[in-house]
Amino acid sequence: MYFGADYYPEHWPPERWATDARLMKEGNLNVVRVAEFAWVELEPVEGQYDFSWLDESIDTLAKEGIKVIMGTPTATPPKWLVDRHPGILMQDRKGQVRGFGSRRHYCYNDPTYREYTKRIVGEMARHYADNPQIIAWQIDNEFGCQDTGQCYCEDCLTAFKQWLKAKYGSLKALNETWGTVFWSQTYTDWDEIILPTYTVCEDSDPNLHGHSPGLLLDAFDYNKLLLEYYKAIVNNGYTTDATGIDSSLAKYKLVIMPAFNLMKDDIRQRLENYVAQGGTLILSFRSGTKEWSNAMTEETLPGLFRNLVGVEVEEFDSLNHGRTVPVTGAFGHGTASIWCDILKPQGAQVLARYSGDFYCGEAAVTVNSFGKGKVYYIGCDLDRTSMKVLMQHVAGSAGIVPPISPIVPGVEVVKKEKDDEKPYLMVLNHNATPAVLTLDDSYTDLISGKKTKEVLSLEPYAVAMLVK
- Note the pLDDT tens digit of each residue in 181-231: 888 889 999 999 998 888 777 665 555 555 543 334 445 678 889 999 999
Residues 86 and 175 grouped into a single domain? no
Nearest to 428 by CA among 439, 438, 416, 414: 414
User: Is the CB of residue 441 less than 8 Å from the CB of residue 468?
Assistant: yes
Residues 140 and 170 grouped into a single domain? no
Residues 245 and 380 grouped into a single domain? yes
Residues 299 and 254 grouped into a single domain? yes
Kind of pairing, strands 463-467 and 220-221? unpaired
**Residues with pLDDT less than 50, the chain:** 212-218
Supply the pLDDT for residue 205: 57
Q: Which domain holds residue 341?
A: 220-397
Domain boundary among the residues 371, 397, 423 is at 397
pTM, 2 dp: 0.76
Q: Is residue 437 part of a domain?
A: yes
Tally of CB atoms within 10 A around 241: 9
Q: Is residue 156 part of a domain?
A: no
Distance CA 219, CA 73 (A): 40
Sequence-distant (6+) residues with CB within 8 A of 245 are 267
Q: Is residue 259 part of a domain?
A: yes
User: Is the CB of residue 276 less than 8 Å from the CB of residue 290?
Assistant: no
CA 399 to chain CA mean position, Å: 25
Domain boundary among the residues 397, 427, 448 is at 397
Residues 250 and 365 grouped into a single domain? yes
Give the H or E element holding residue 281.
strand 280-284
Nearest to 382 by CA among 230, 260, 236, 229: 229
Supply the pLDDT for residue 340: 97
User: Is the CB of residue 348 less than 8 Å from the CB of residue 310?
Assistant: yes
By percentage, how much of the chain surpasses pLDDT 70? 96
- If one counts the domains in the chain, the total is 4
CATH code, domain carrying 449 = 2.60.40.1180
Residues 334 and 361 grouped into a single domain? yes
CATH code, domain carrying 284 = 3.40.50.880
Nearest to 439 by CA among 416, 421, 458, 420: 458
| Distance (Å) of CA 443 to CA 388, 438, 449, 456, 465 | 29, 12, 10, 9, 9
Residues 370 and 463 grouped into a single domain? no
Q: Is residue 179 part of a domain?
A: yes
Nearest to 371 by CA among 248, 244, 271, 265: 271
Residues 207 and 141 grouped into a single domain? no
Nearest to 275 by CA among 305, 244, 302, 230: 305
Domain boundary among the residues 102, 117, 147 is at 147
Residues 368 and 458 grouped into a single domain? no
Q: Is residue 426 part of a domain?
A: yes
DSSP state at residue 348: P
Q: Is residue 158 part of a domain?
A: no
DSSP state at residue 219: T
Residues 51 and 123 grouped into a single domain? yes
Residues 461 and 358 grouped into a single domain? no
Supply the pLDDT for residue 216: 41
Distance CA 388, CA 409 (A): 13
Q: How far apart are the first and last CA of the chain?
A: 15
User: Is the CB of residue 331 less than 8 Å from the CB of residue 386?
Assistant: yes
Distance CA 312, CA 154 (A): 46
Q: Is residue 136 part of a domain?
A: yes
H/E/C letters for each residue in 67-104? Answer: EEEEECCCCCCCHHHHHHCHHHCCECCCCCECCCCCCC
CATH code, domain carrying 35 = 3.20.20.80
Query: How buried is residue 337: exposed, middle or buried, by Cβ count under 10 Å (0-12/13-18/19+)?
Result: middle
Q: Is residue 281 part of a domain?
A: yes
Which amino acid is present at 178?
W
Tally of CB atoms within 10 A around 220: 20
Residues in the chain: 468
DSSP state at residue 295: P
Residues 329 and 378 grouped into a single domain? yes
